[in-house]
Chain A
């Protein structure tokens, strides 16, 4: 017996929705699972939204990128420019550069899409980095989330790769210079370097295959990796449930949060639309990568200042700061770029990948299961190391722009470099130490600096419970 339903203003809509739901459920048995998920608890602190901004930036990238890919031509063959930008009229440029010029000057909304795409790429990496810092300083990478940490760092590397391959596609003078440096870094590896460089490019630099290969990396292989790993990252997150800040209500044995529907879904949808909005705003208002001013790539031309996109700045700084150490032992030359371009970044990323285990072994010394986030002050040692590490990266970043700084601040170029060489040692130690002391002071000195008073579930020797669904520790 149905009662008159006064909440529906359009009865047809409701009936249609129900019919659709029945149709799907008839085939997929969705009712029970959906019921459970509709009211899933989502810890909703605002700092948990950084990862979502990264995800939404990725969606914008995929959408705008598809549009760009429908115009871009990955070909190094020369054509004569015949478009409306007068200073390039008649100039012999690669078909790739020409396609980007056409997109920027002759396709309606083409320049907007290009700029949104590039700004989204920059913001994508910003969001990943800030998200990573949040996870790091709150200890949210601890068991059981080590796997997601590793996947996350892999995503960061893929984001670097997507950005580097992407901004090299227009074949302009700035990005071509960066490609040359990347190739030289490959070349520098002992024994296999020249072979790797020639395999990557299909011959000696610059060759004719490079744009096609970068293109496939950028539109097929890396996006597949990104989407796949993001999917895995989210699936693990759903399975393990999000961490939460501790409170009288929130413990290691529960999840306290906003329900998925309607609250969290609306928050996420709103954030998604805001991300599109902000990226479109900067995409329209701020010029980015004006390749028509740089001109097409010629291997015998270069200009200053020559910087890569921001997230490669640390590599650039390493190369500028590193001394001119090059030596030959028993006929094997170790080029001066090898250590700063290959070994040091390798070391940094190995440390970052391995951090959950480093943290467990030497800092917190517990391998219990943790679902409560910590405050930076709770683990002063980790916070000190983290702040020191971030400071080190910041100094190296600044070094990557040493010529821009030297000219803006009217200081000598070599002097700037030498000062930075000193700061690279002094500042991380200084700020790391200060952060450590501050954290200890905030925490109260009589507690452990390594956060060992929060052993989590399952303590030192992780023991499996003997009862299914045990909800008390």
Chain B
């Protein structure tokens, strides 16, 4: 009897948790922020000489940065690149709650509907909005100066959706009026399909297009043929060699 009551009570508490938990998270997040992030991002996320203001960046932005290990940076000059997540999940959620409380910004998108997403729509949107920088196969491309767009090989669906909404780094953002939530799910579903689908043509050799194809033509195809030619043809023998 008692376990049942406790279970019911526990479930009830979780169901009713809502704002109470969020508040608890946010205040815990404030503490973590003050210890680890305020040095660069300033007190209250106001921004400082080494880090931009986080007021109004929204939950999605923070969640993205923390999930992909881009934040926290070891030093302000360190490049922002994908790593393993540096904080644990609970701390991440706390920080997200805290920053979200500082001002309105893009919320964490919902990617639960991936299974039913429209792949064709996703491909069309990806080509229109994403392929210019990420490449048609999301392989990552040089996009000017030192910047290289991410390959999307290992990105989680939630990370893809968050990046689209928040435009991290040099990436532009795509707001709700340009891409709806369904659109975002469609794009994400297509990226995943790209990863999972077997290349019907065979080895996809990095999917960088004609550049790698050219290398294969010269080295693999013509290389094999050169070996064949060498074996079939005559070699210059000692008799024929000439020093003149």
Q: Do chains A and B stick together as partners?
A: yes
| A residues at B contact (CB < 8 Å) | 44-50, 53, 86-91, 104-105, 111, 115, 119, 122-123, 126-127, 130, 173-174, 245-250, 258, 267, 270-271, 274-275, 278-279, 281-282, 284-290, 293-295, 298, 301-305, 307-310, 313, 375, 378, 401-404, 406-407, 410-414, 453-454
Tell me the complex Cα distance, A403–B142, Å. Answer: 5
Q: What residues of chain A lie closer than 8 Å to B209, measured between beta carbons?
A: 174, 305, 307
Contact of B178 with A by CB under 8 A:
no
Closest chain A residue, CB of each to CB of B208? A404
Which residues from chain A contact B241 at a C-beta distance below 8 Å? 247
- Beyond known contacts A122-B214, A285-B202: 17 more, CB 8 A cutoff: A87-B122, A88-B123, A174-B209, A247-B242, A249-B239, A250-B240, A275-B225, A287-B200, A290-B199, A290-B207, A293-B137, A304-B132, A304-B135, A305-B209, A313-B214, A403-B142, A404-B208
Contact (Cβ within 8 A) B145 A45? no
Q: Which residue of chain B has the shortest Cβ distance to A403 in the bound complex? A: B142
Q: By the criterion CB–CB under 8 Å, are A122 and B217 in contact?
A: yes
- The secondary-structure label for the interface of chain A is helix
Does B170 interact with chain A (Cβ within 8 Å)? no
A282 to B239, CA, bound (A): 38
How far is A281 from B203 in the complex, measured between Cα atoms in Å?
Answer: 12
B229 within 8 A of A: yes
Does chain A have a CB within 8 A of B69? no
- Contact code string B100-123 (vs A, CB < 8 Å = 1, else 0): 000000000000000000011011
Known: A286-B201, A287-B201. A126 touches B218 (CB 8 A): yes
Write the nearest CB–CB distance from B233 to chain A, whole angstroms.
Answer: 3
Chain B positions within 8 Å of A407 at CB level = 140-142, 148
Residue of A nearest to B218 (CB): A126
Query: Using an 8 Å CB-CB cutoff, how does the interface string of B13-47 with A read, 1 for contact, 0 for none?
Result: 00000000000000000000000000000000000
Min Cβ gap B98→A in Å is 34
B195: min CB distance to chain A, Å: 12
- Contact of A91 with B124 in the complex, beta carbons under 8 Å: yes
Q: Are A45 and B225 in contact (CB under 8 A)?
A: no
Contact B239 A248, beta carbon cutoff 8 Å: yes
CA distance A304 to B137 in the complex (A): 10
A375 — nearest CB in chain B belongs to which residue? B242
Give the shortest distance, in Å, between A55 (CB) and chain B (any CB). 13
Of all chain B residues, which has the CB nearest A121? Answer: B217
Q: Are A44 and B199 in contact (CB under 8 A)?
A: no
- Distance of A297 Cα from B207 Cα, bound (Å): 19
Q: Which residues of A contact B233 (CB under 8 A)?
A: 44-49, 267
Q: How far is the CB of B224 from chain A (nearest CB, A)?
A: 5
Question: If A53-B229, A91-B124 touch, does A130 touch B222 (CB 8 Å cutoff)?
Answer: yes
Q: Are A122 and B221 in contact (CB under 8 A)?
A: yes
CA distance A413 to B240 in the complex (A): 51
Is B11's beta carbon under 8 Å from chain A? no
In the complex, A288 Cα to B229 Cα: how many Å? 25
Is the beta-carbon distance between B124 and A49 smaller than 8 angstroms? no
Q: Complex Cα distance A411/B201, Å?
A: 31
Question: What are 6 pairs between A and B in contact, CB < 8 Å?
Answer: A87-B190, A123-B217, A123-B222, A130-B222, A295-B127, A305-B211
CA distance A211 to B244 in the complex (A): 55
Find chain A residues with CB under 8 A from B222 CB. Answer: 53, 123, 126-127, 130
A86/B120 contact (C-beta < 8 A), A123-B225, A413-B145 known: yes
Chain B residues in 8 Å Cβ range of A285: 202-203
Contacts of A298 in B (CB 8 A): 127-128
CA distance A393 to B242 in the complex (A): 31
Q: Is the CB of A45 within 8 A of B210?
A: no
User: Which of B205, B220, B221, B229 contacts A50 (CB under 8 A)?
Assistant: B229
Asked if B141 and A123 sit within 8 Å, CB to CB, the answer is: no
Q: B194 and A46: CB pair below 8 A?
A: no
A284-B119 in contact (CB<8A): no
Which residues 108-162 of B sit at the A interface, judged by CB distance below 8 A?
119-120, 122-124, 127-128, 131-133, 135-137, 140-146, 148
Contact B143–A310 (Cβ < 8 Å): no
Residues of A within 8 A of B137 (CB): 293
Q: Are A45 and B236 in contact (CB under 8 A)?
A: yes
Tell whether A307 pairs with B136 under 8 Å between CB atoms, given A91-B120, A286-B205, A406-B142: no
- Asked if B244 and A246 sit within 8 Å, CB to CB, the answer is yes
Give A302 to B190 CA distance when docked, in angstroms. Answer: 18
- Whole-angstrom CA separation of A205 from B240 in the bound complex: 59
Q: Does B50 count as interface, using CB distance less than 8 angstroms?
A: no
Residue with the highest number of chain A CB atoms closer than 10 Å, among B140, B221, B230:
B221
A87 close to B217 (CB less than 8 A): no
B160 to chain A, nearest CB (A): 16
- A133 nearest CB across to chain B (Å): 13
In whole angstroms, what is the CA distance A313 to B210 when docked?
A: 9
Q: Which of A89, A267, A270, A303 contacts B120 (CB 8 A)?
A: A89
Cα–Cα, bound, A48→B99 (Å): 72
Q: Which residue of A lies closest to B141 (CB)?
A: A304
A47: chain B residues at CB < 8 Å are: 229, 233
Return chain A residues, CB-CB under 8 Å to B131. 173, 295, 301-303
Closest to B204 in A: A287
Whole-angstrom distance between the alpha carbons of A203 and B120 in the complex? 32
A413 and B211 contact, CB distance less than 8 A:
no
- A115→B236 CA distance, assembly (Å): 37
Say whether B216 faces chain A, with CB atoms less than 8 Å apart: yes
User: Could you tell me the distance between the alpha carbons of A186 and B132 in the complex, rounded to whole angstroms?
Assistant: 25
Of the listed residues A87, A104, A247, the one surrounded by the most CB atoms of chain B closer than 10 A to its CB is: A87
B236 to chain A, nearest CB (A): 6
